[in-house]
Amino acid sequence: MKKKLKWLVIGCGAAFLLLQLTNPPRTNPPVKADLIATLNPPAPVAASLIAACYDCHSHQTKWPWYAHIAPVSWLVVKDTNDGRDALDFSEWPTNDSETAADQLDGMSKKVTNNKMPPSKYTAIHQDARLTAEQRKTLTDWLDATATKLNSAPK
């Protein structure tokens, strides 16, 4: 029995080591136009955006240690790529106020409805857990900025 257990442990260890060869690339492409640099939100709003959104929705992702260990790395990279595909703060539409306003409206709705940041992210990242006051401050700014962009001359 001990011999079988020994070989099982060795086999699992070898499989784990081989999995590390399958880690996907963790990229942070160059920032083209950053949301915070473009819209210059107040410090509390910028802090909330960085803490709760930027890891998945920008090219300024801070890759934690577990993002380097398969199979967890697969999920982290997939979630980050999906987040960037849905909304990328590092490719903010600086010359299209209508698109920018639509994106801000969508962000406000998701934050208001507690759909962002997702609970699987906040379970591990305590600083991403937004209080009711932080959510209100953030959504008030998002709504006001979207209104301002929508009323800007085209």
Q: What is the pLDDT, as a whole number, of residue 4?
A: 83
Note the pLDDT of residue 119.
95
Q: Say whether pLDDT at 152 is over 90.
A: no
3-state DSSP call for residue 125? coil
132 touches 140 (CB < 8 A): no
Q: Given this model, what pLDDT does residue 121 score?
A: 95
User: Is this structure's pTM higher than 0.85?
Assistant: yes
What is the pLDDT averaged over residues 78-93? Answer: 96
Q: Which residue has the higher pLDDT, 105 or 9?
A: 105
Q: Rounded to 5 degrees, what angle do the CA atoms 141, 146, 151 make? A: 130
Tell me the pLDDT tens digit for each residue of 86-127. Answer: 999 999 998 899 999 999 999 999 999 999 999 999 999 999
Q: Report, as an integer, the average pLDDT of 56-80.
A: 95
**What confidence tens digit (pLDDT) does each residue in 12-66 have?**
777 677 777 778 999 999 999 999 999 999 999 999 999 999 999 999 999 999 9
Q: Is the pLDDT of residue 154 over 70?
A: no
Tell me the pLDDT band of 5, cut-offs 50, 70 and 90.
confident
Q: Could you tell me how far CA 16 lies from the centroid of its own chain? A: 27
